[in-house]
Structure 1
């Protein structure tokens, strides 16, 4: 079976819902479902999170980030972090751990590097989308951050399958964008129970054209992706494709202020939230 045929088979299996997840990812998906149960109360949520070290560390880090710690009071325990963040943000954090775990199961050193870069890219996009949504639109920043975290989840799944199919990405990223991005992405989003508004925003990102000022979460995602200092290793640069340099983009104006001014004013929020997601 040649590489393209393997690619098409993986995409076809994903389209049928036949996804292969490592054991640690399956355990985190169970945690995600438990936290989503309407009967899950604060104390139980804190206990469930404390049982998962990765989720615990990220929950406390995000609760202490500039985006969420507006009072300046530092939190050092999971229960207080859960109280500050709430269940919606907790669901986002759990999903981020699931996405990251897909990359950490990879044995191939080159693919592990790609996975690490992809996660760094997603963290930047998620943090930037959170801040830009709050400042520029009437949409929900929490939804935007969640969309930023999962917008490349299909790519993480593909990278996790490269141990089973060595050489799968030897032909570059064009095959992924042609055969796999949308089909695999949609299947993994469905498996993770991603809400339809988030899926719609990601679909908009796949087909979108930059809109300034952004109106929807899809618009914000595209802008945040262009602004990310770390590109996705699975995609051609959307900035390069548009023939626009990053410096030119940040000099564009939104109302009376340049995008550069807005980003400068939000630098600490974006930096601290990105760092918390990378814990």
Structure 2
């Protein structure tokens, strides 16, 4: 890709961010209804079930999730949607709905010419969501389902960048250059998208962890800490590296605030693999 084309694409991103024109397709109506329902303090299972039942794919995924070994170790067969929702909890139901919506965006037919790249981002999103969930579970006061959602949404800016890069085939043909572009721009692009979807500020902040990480160890752990640490741990998983680099991460303030120590790593890895397996089982049709 020529420097002129690269500059043009970067200029386009800057202009779109300034104008607020960054957007992916809207979430399906069922996701919006579920989110709105769960904002109420007195919502009933029957109300959530009624909203979910309008989407057969979501119904089937929730039943698979509820019957998975991760959420149903006793193996008692669940066939009722109401029982499945009761077993999983409202937050997990919401996260499953959001997960399916992101998957549909990533694997949409109109993006078939960049399907491998879109699928790779989707797979990484599931990994980061699973790792964020198990990292958050290490610290009292952090909600693991909200952490899952943060991890799931963290890569959404890359989906947009991929769709915009279809007009620049030379960039897509150069994975190294594309990765540089995506790493530089996906946090701000993703933040704009997640804001447009009206997610809470605590979720939005995790899209730009470098902007919100603190160097002070005495502060309370945040979801920003969780997503940052989860992302770093995944890099070590990719490289099978448990050495000095991992020790350096665990000495960082974010990991210290969460309370992750070397003796926790084996259990954390086991929990991550179990969570990721359950998520893949539930979301793979």
- Superposition TM-score, scaled by structure 2 size: 0.74
Q: Which residue of 2 aligns with 1:246?
A: 241
Q: Tell me the CA shift for residue 266 of structure 1.
A: 5.9
CA distance in structure 2 between the aligned counterparts of 1:277 and 1:217, rounded to whole angstroms: 24
- 2:177 maps to 1:174: no
CA distance in structure 2 between the aligned counterparts of 1:274 and 1:108, rounded to whole angstroms: 21
Superposed CA RMSD in Å reads 3.6
SS at match of 2:78: coil
CA distance in structure 1 between the aligned counterparts of 2:214 and 2:58, rounded to whole angstroms: 35
Q: Tell me the CA shift for residue 94 of structure 1.
A: 2.0
Residues 37 and 20 of structure 1: CA distance in aligned 2, closer, same or farther (over 3 Å): closer
SS at match of 2:72: coil
- Greater RCO between the two (CA within 8 Å, min separation 6)? 1
CA distance in structure 2 between the aligned counterparts of 1:133 and 1:164, rounded to whole angstroms: 39
CA distance in structure 2 between the aligned counterparts of 1:93 and 1:6, rounded to whole angstroms: 33
Q: Tell me the CA shift for residue 62 of structure 1.
A: 3.0
CA distance in structure 2 between the aligned counterparts of 1:266 and 1:168, rounded to whole angstroms: 33
CA distance in structure 2 between the aligned counterparts of 1:71 and 1:205, rounded to whole angstroms: 42
Q: Tell me the CA shift for residue 264 of structure 1.
A: 3.2
CA contact 2:23–2:196 (8 Å) conserved in 1: no
- Superposition TM-score, scaled by structure 1 size: 0.75
Q: Tell me the CA shift for residue 195 of structure 1.
A: 1.1
CA distance in structure 1 between the aligned counterparts of 2:245 and 2:81, rounded to whole angstroms: 37
| Aligned 1:70-81 pairs, distance under 5 A | 72-81=75-84
Structure 1: which 5+ runs fail to align?
Answer: 229-236
| Aligned 1:1-279 pairs, distance under 5 A | 2-22=5-25, 26=26, 28=28, 30-38=29-37, 41-69=44-72, 72-105=75-108, 107=110, 111-163=114-166, 166-167=169-170, 169-170=172-173, 171-178=177-184, 180-204=185-209, 208=213, 215-228=221-234, 246-248=241-243, 252=247, 254-255=260-261, 257-264=263-270, 267-279=273-285
CA distance in structure 2 between the aligned counterparts of 1:238 and 1:247, rounded to whole angstroms: 7
